[in-house]
């Protein structure tokens, strides 16, 4: 097999495209197939830095891990990072090239990027046996079809077969499948090979009559029914979800009590980015992580995390408006642990000069760390490593803010004052020895008897999750049919049958 491909589209955003793509990648690589993931255009605030210093969507980095290959800029040539409801930073081949409104992007810039996207895909197809592409949103967004470079636009140009994923747990999956195909042009319909049902609960035999009727209506088969699985803590584009061990909880859920439990509250700031940083905390037995947006929810927390954000000044205003800033300041005065990561680190400093992200100029920070931040036009994209708390640490940096650290105890690239910590390093808590050392410090300051488990390996847990995704595909999808699709390319002219339901 050489240069095969498949596009995994979805009936909606969050239908499961990212995890299905990862599952297919892991299943293929276990069969000895050299495979790579690809997403022509991604919109996400969760991103990653490759070893070449390129910023790509974190979901594509996760899919590369599923495929057991090194993440590359080629795998996600266009990344959009929202800064508001109407504009995004455009990251092209791993580097920011400017801010564009939605109208400006879809009005011309997106279409001009199709050549770059196709060149990247062709380079991957020339290197790997198979490339599994992930779509975005729905291919039936007909208002955007003319400029599409991630769904049917790329499928048409590269002659890729398309499998449409639908989340049956939401309801309406049959209508979504039918409507998706019905709204496409005949030329696009010809590329739709069939469907994958995701997140099914119950007896599959009860679903089969509906699948048969769907095939009669559309002329397309269903390639598998994937069961619902709890605790899949796999990196997706955006949106809070249950983490590796199901420990990420909504703010309405009270954490358990006990001297051997550590409770972590993560401030759900606007434009939150890389909330995956706390996955490694949630992976630790006895650590409960929840996202909060009210000051009273910090009262019983042993550690408060202010995470990264695409809008540092906006996040600072939000913290003040909700009383969270005052609550965090009280914690610091009482010697109770606070950790700021990237934008959260900048918020904890003395002041911010921002003529780049918010253009707000000089803004006072929370003043909990002796740090002054100036926003630069050039974005820092690095993969640093070092030592902290006597342990080796690795991470990655994605930020415009340049921090001038004027005191405190050195901590990675930032500093520590008492039990207030700040760093730009995303992913540092994935380093097992460092994470355990940090949690011991938190437990000491919080007066807890919590002791980190000595054998928790975040990377091993992530591998288990990726293997589980591979198992879902292997055990519940028609893998022989999927492999034929990947090898032979787009189906030839499948008809869309009459829009009348069978009796």
Query: Could you give the CA distance from residue 440 to residue 496 in angstroms, rounded to a whole number?
Result: 61
Query: Could you give the CA distance from residue 374 to residue 351 in angstroms, rounded to a whole number?
Result: 9
Rounded to 10 deg, the angle between the 17-30 and 458-476 helix axes is: 90
* Distant-in-sequence, close-in-space partners of 291: CB < 8 Å, separation ≥ 6: 240, 248, 249, 250, 251, 265, 266, 267, 268, 275
Contact 409, 416 (CB under 8 A): yes
| 342 is known as an active-site residue | yes
| 392 is known as an active-site residue | no
Contact 364, 351 (CB under 8 A): yes
Centre a 10 Å sphere on the Cβ of residue 122 and count the other Cβ atoms it contains.
15
Helix residue ranges per DSSP H, 199-248: 208-218
Burial of 131 (0-12, 13-18, 19+ CB in 10 A): buried
Strands 420-423 and 338-341: parallel
Burial of 84 (0-12, 13-18, 19+ CB in 10 A): middle
The SS3 call for residue 8 is: strand
Q: Which of 342, 399, 415, 476 is catalytic?
A: 342
Query: Could you give the CA distance from residue 37 to residue 132 in angstroms, rounded to a whole number?
Result: 5
Angle at alpha carbon of residue 52, lines to 50 and 53, rounded to 5°: 70
Q: Which of 400, 424, 426, 476 is catalytic?
A: 426
Among all residues, which ones are annotated catalytic? 342, 426
């Amino acid at each position: 097999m050489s240069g095969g491909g498949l596009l995994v589209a979805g009936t909606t955003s969050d239908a499961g495209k990212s995890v299905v793509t990862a599952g297919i990648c892991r299943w293929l690589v276990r069969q000895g197939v050299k495979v790579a993931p690809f997403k022509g255009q991604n919109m996400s605030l969760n991103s990653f830095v490759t070893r070449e210093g390129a910023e790509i969507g974190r979901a594509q980095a996760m899919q590369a891990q599923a495929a057991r290959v090194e993440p590359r800029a080629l795998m996600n040539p266009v990344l959009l990072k929202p800064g508001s409801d109407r504009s995004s930073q455009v990251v092209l081949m791993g580097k920011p090239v400017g801010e564009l409104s939605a109208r400006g992007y879809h009005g011309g810039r997106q279409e001009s990027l199709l050549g770059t996207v196709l060149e990247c895909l062709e380079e991957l197809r020339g290197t790997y046996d198979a490339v599994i592409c992930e779509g975005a949103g729905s291919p039936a967004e007909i208002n955007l079809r003319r400029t599409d470079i991630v769904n049917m636009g790329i499928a048409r140009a590269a002659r890729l077969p398309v499998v449409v994923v639908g989340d049956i747990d939401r309801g309406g999956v049959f209508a979504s499948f039918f409507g998706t195909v019905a709204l496409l042009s005949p030329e696009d319909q010809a590329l739709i090979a069939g469907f994958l049902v995701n997140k099914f609960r119950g007896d599959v035999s009860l679903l089969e009559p509906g699948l048969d009727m769907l095939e009669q209506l559309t002329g397309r088969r269903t390639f598998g029914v994937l069961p619902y699985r709890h605790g899949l803590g796999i990196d997706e584009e955006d949106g809070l979800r249950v983490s590796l061990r199901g420990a990420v909880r909504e703010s309405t859920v009270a954490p358990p009590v006990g001297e051997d439990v550590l409770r972590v509250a993560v401030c759900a700031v606007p434009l939150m980015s890389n909330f995956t940083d706390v996955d490694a905390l949630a992976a630790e037995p006895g650590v409960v992580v929840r996202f909060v947006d009210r000051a009273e929810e910090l009262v019983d927390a042993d550690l408060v995390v202010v995470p990264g954000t695409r809008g540092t000044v906006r996040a600072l205003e939000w913290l003040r408006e909700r009383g969270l800033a005052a609550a965090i300041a009280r914690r610091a005065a009482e010697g109770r642990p606070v950790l700021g990561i990237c934008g959260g680190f900048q918020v904890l400093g003395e002041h911010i000069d921002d003529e780049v992200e918010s253009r707000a100029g000089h803004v006072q920070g929370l003043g909990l760390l002796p740090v002054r931040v100036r926003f630069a036009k050039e974005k820092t994209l690095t993969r640093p490593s070092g030592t902290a708390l006597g342990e080796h640490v690795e991470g990655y940096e994605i930020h415009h803010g340049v921090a001038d650290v004027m005191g405190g105890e050195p901590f990675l690239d930032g500093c520590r004052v008492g039990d207030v910590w700040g760093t730009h390093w995303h992913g540092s808590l994935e380093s097992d020895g460092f994470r355990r050392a940090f949690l011991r410090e938190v437990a000491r300051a919080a007066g807890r008897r919590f002791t980190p488990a000595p054998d928790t390996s975040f990377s091993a847990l992530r591998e288990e999750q990726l293997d589980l995704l591979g198992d879902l595909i292997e055990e519940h999808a028609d893998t022989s049919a999927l492999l034929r699709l990947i090898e032979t390319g787009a189906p030839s002219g499948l008809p869309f049958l009459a829009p009348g339901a069978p009796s």
